[in-house]
């Protein structure tokens, strides 16, 4: 004999967010008339402790086996109310939520009567689905207590150091022959005498001293299988003389810290590569380095320039046809820090800065004012300056928006402050790990505020400039953040994932393979049984419950737990029949 369905409906006022528009009492009285509803109540804040206690008490007193809450977005409080059911001894997935705030009161503030009627319909739909809900159990899997870090820049190094100091094995894979990425090319950092190389060396020294760190240089990740808690990774290491070796790793989490590539100006862009008097900011930093080709002496084009022009936003803010639309964040500050270093050593040098937007954010604005105190001249442009190499000098011409005049300044050399673009491996890594990316080409976090440094694929985290331009401090901080997130996985013996995934009715499945071909997470494979029958198999740890397979299945064999065909159809019928 099937269990009697006993539903409790709870309508939230959300202060005045809902009650200021929707007649909550009227919705409650309507809910009492719906089939299988044995109790219906309202409260000012259902998510509050008293509101949660009300639901727990009613579950026991009225022997409820289904609960519907009409309140805000499920994205905000669905986990809260599922926890309430669990605390009361009821399966957490026997819960349905109706969004009568974002879907009702907030979008119909000027028509309270219509908003109230819509709230009733949303509750009616939720109750119809709740009748058909089934208990589900979270899926568990063992966790490998190790982490893979892809990329040996400052973000990857910081993440590695944090994790090995917590006692976890970390496999650091770097495609270059040295660690440090682009940070080693940076000169002195703002507000410190340390260079980027100093920061890198400090991190590398500590990492190499820890036996939990396993470093693979000249190596690349070729393949990743498995899922959160148990990723199976194939790494190819180049040994030289055309020889390679394959290394198989098992890890519980992956951190992607692949960094960026400096924007490479096209030949002729601002005179680049048409004269040795035009260099990039990174090239200038190398020149000023004591280990550089000129042993720290400022020599460009074979001479010590008496005048320099810096052009900012090269490759950024759509200044030229090839430039990206975004700001690269660190170029202004890095340029000003370099200029101040030059002025300190060569106080007689004339420096001109051509800029579109000066973005020395935070305390780094001090660099701008110090540059002005050192008689650095700033020229703002809207349209990119032109650079014309002459016999003994370079002429930089631009329309100065401040004085509203076109000016031409002859200088001995030009420095291009080039921005950041996604690393060349970004697309390969994105496809391999099934990570999203934004319109700018950088990897995309699951949610900038709610799930920073997390990828959409569980168990994979993003650090540093892999997700967009950052300065060295921000990159280090995001490396630590990614390590902290990864540690929440590898500290556990087993991982739990939501059971709202696709499931196959093998008796109905014809093995057509449509679901496997469409699955964006490669969670479905086709298995051939001993009798030759083909059936679909879902990897429960890879499935993200997107519903693509269930929607495409021609036989109805593939069903989405929590959103089965009969459950969704019950909502549709309730919408149009009003019952």
301-319: pLDDT as tens digits: 889 999 999 999 999 999 9
Average pLDDT over residues 196-222: 96
pLDDT bucket at 1, cuts 50 / 70 / 90:
very low
* SS3 at position 52: helix
Query: Does some domain include residue 568?
Result: no
Strands (E), 62-145: 66-71, 95-99, 139-142
Is-contact 368 358, C-beta < 8 A?
A: yes
Q: How far apart are CA 370 and CA 357, in angstroms?
A: 18
Q: Name the domain boundary from 446, 478, 494.
A: 494
**408: exposed, middle or buried (C-beta count within 10 Å: 0-12, 13-18, 19+)?**
exposed
Query: Does some domain include residue 163?
Result: yes
Same domain, 224 and 254: yes
Average pLDDT over residues 283-288: 91
Same domain, 58 and 200: no
Same domain, 305 and 408: yes
Q: Give the pTM.
A: 0.81
Q: Given this model, what pLDDT does residue 579 score?
A: 55
Same domain, 436 and 397: no
Q: Name the domain boundary from 136, 171, 197.
A: 136
Closest C-alpha among 339, 304, 323 to residue 415: 339
Same domain, 106 and 199: no
Same domain, 85 and 182: no
CATH number reported for the structural domain that contains residue 104 in this entry: 3.40.50
Same domain, 59 and 191: no
Task: Evaluate if residue 404 carries a pLDDT over 50.
Answer: yes
The count of domains in the chain is 4
**Mean pLDDT, rounded, of the chain:** 93
CATH number reported for the structural domain that contains residue 378 in this entry: 3.50.50.60
Q: Given this model, what pLDDT does residue 363 score?
A: 87
Same domain, 298 and 368: yes
CATH number reported for the structural domain that contains residue 545 in this entry: 3.30.70.3270
Average pLDDT over residues 1-17: 90
Give the rounded distance of the alpha carbon of 66 from its chain centre: 36
Task: Evaluate if residue 147 carries a pLDDT over 80.
Answer: yes
Is-contact 440 326, C-beta < 8 A?
A: yes
Query: Does some domain include residue 304?
Result: yes
Q: What's phi and psi for 359, nearest 5 deg?
A: -120, 65
Same domain, 394 and 452: no
Residue 165 domain boundaries: 146-259+423-494
Closest C-alpha among 282, 375, 378 to residue 334: 282
Query: Does some domain include residue 566?
Result: no
Task: Evaluate if residue 360 carries a pLDDT over 70.
Answer: yes
> In which region does residue 308 sit, left (phi positive, over 0), alpha (psi from -120 to 50) or beta (all else)?
beta
Is-contact 472 453, C-beta < 8 A?
A: no
> In which region does residue 444 sit, left (phi positive, over 0), alpha (psi from -120 to 50) or beta (all else)?
beta
Query: Does some domain include residue 567?
Result: no
Query: Does some domain include residue 381?
Result: yes
Query: Does some domain include residue 577?
Result: no
Q: Name the domain boundary from 452, 474, 494.
A: 494
Tell me the pLDDT tens digit for each residue of 458-501.
Answer: 899 999 999 999 999 999 999 999 999 999 999 999 988 889 99
Is-contact 354 398, C-beta < 8 A?
A: yes
* SS3 at position 128: helix
Same domain, 293 and 405: yes
Same domain, 290 and 401: yes
Q: Give me the torsion for CA of 315, 317, 323, 328, rounded to 10°.
A: 40
Query: Does some domain include residue 141?
Result: no
Q: What's phi and psi for 314, nearest 5 deg?
A: -75, 115
pLDDT bucket at 266, cuts 50 / 70 / 90:
very high
Same domain, 184 and 248: yes
Q: How far apart are CA 95 and CA 85, in angstroms?
A: 8
């Amino acid at each position: 004999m099937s269990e009697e369905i006993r539903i409790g409906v709870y309508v939230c006022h959300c202060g005045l967010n809902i009650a200021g528009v929707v007649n909550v009492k009227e919705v409650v009285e309507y809910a009492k008339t719906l089939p299988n509803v044995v109790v219906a109540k309202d409260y000012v804040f259902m998510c509050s402790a008293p509101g949660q206690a009300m639901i727990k008490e009613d579950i026991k007193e009225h022997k409820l086996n289904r609960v519907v809450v009409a309140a805000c977005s499920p994205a905000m409080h669905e986990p809260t109310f599922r926890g309430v059911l669990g605390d009361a001894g009821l399966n957490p997935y026997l819960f349905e939520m109706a969004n009568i705030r974002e879907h009702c009161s907030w979008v119909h503030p000027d028509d309270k009567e219509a908003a109230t009627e819509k709230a009733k319909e949303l509750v009616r739909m939720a109750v119809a689905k709740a009748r058909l809900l089934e208990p589900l159990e979270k899926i568990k899997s063992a966790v490998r207590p190790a982490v893979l870090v892809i990329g040996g820049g400052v973000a990857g190094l910081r993440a590695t150091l944090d994790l090995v100091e917590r006692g976890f094995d970390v496999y650091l894979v770097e495609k270059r022959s040295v660690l440090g990425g682009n940070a080693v090319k940076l000169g002195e950092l703002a507000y410190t005498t340390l260079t980027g190389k100093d920061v890198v060396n400090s991190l590398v020294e500590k990492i190499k001293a820890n036996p939990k760190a396993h470093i693979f240089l000249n190596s690349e990740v070729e393949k990743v299988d498995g899922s959160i808690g148990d990723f199976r990774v194939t790494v190819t290491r180049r040994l030289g003389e055309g020889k390679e070796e394959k290394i198989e790793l098992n890890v519980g989490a992956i951190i992607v810290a692949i960094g960026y590539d400096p924007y490479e100006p096209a030949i002729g862009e601002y005179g680049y590569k048409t004269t040795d008097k035009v260099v990039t900011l990174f090239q200038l930093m190398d020149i000023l380095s004591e280990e550089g080709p000129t042993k720290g002496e400022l020599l460009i084009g074979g001479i010590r320039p008496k005048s320099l022009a810096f052009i900012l936003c090269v490759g950024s803010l759509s200044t030229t046809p090839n430039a990206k639309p975004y700001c690269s964040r660190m170029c202004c500050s890095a340029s000003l820090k370099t200029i101040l270093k030059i002025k300190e050593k060569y106080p007689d040098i004339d420096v001109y800065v051509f800029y579109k937007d000066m973005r020395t954010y935070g305390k780094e604005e001090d660099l701008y004012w110090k540059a002005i105190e050192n008689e650095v001249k700033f020229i703002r442009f809207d349209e990119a300056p032109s650079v014309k190499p002459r016999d003994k000098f370079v002429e930089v011409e631009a329309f100065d928006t401040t004085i509203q005049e076109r000016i031409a300044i002859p200088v001995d050399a030009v420095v291009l402050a080039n921005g950041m673009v996604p690393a060349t491996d970004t697309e390969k890594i994105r496809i391999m790990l099934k990570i999203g990316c934004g319109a700018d080409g950088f990897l995309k976090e699951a949610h900038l505020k709610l799930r920073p440094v997390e990828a959409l694929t569980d168990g994979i985290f993003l650090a540093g400039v892999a997700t967009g331009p950052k300065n060295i401090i921000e990159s280090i901080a995001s490396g630590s953040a990614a390590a902290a997130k990864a540690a929440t996985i590898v500290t556990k013996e087993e991982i739990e994932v939501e059971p709202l995934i696709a499931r196959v009715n093998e008796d109905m499945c014809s093995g057509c393979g449509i679901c496997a071909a469409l699955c964006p997470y490669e969670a479905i494979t086709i298995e051939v049984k001993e009798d030759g029958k083909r059936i679909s198999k879902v990897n429960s740890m890879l499935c993200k419950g997107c519903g693509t397979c269930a929607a495409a299945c021609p036989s109805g064999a593939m069903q989405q737990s929590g959103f089965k065909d009969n459950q969704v159809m019950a909502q549709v019928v309730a919408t149009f029949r009003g019952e």
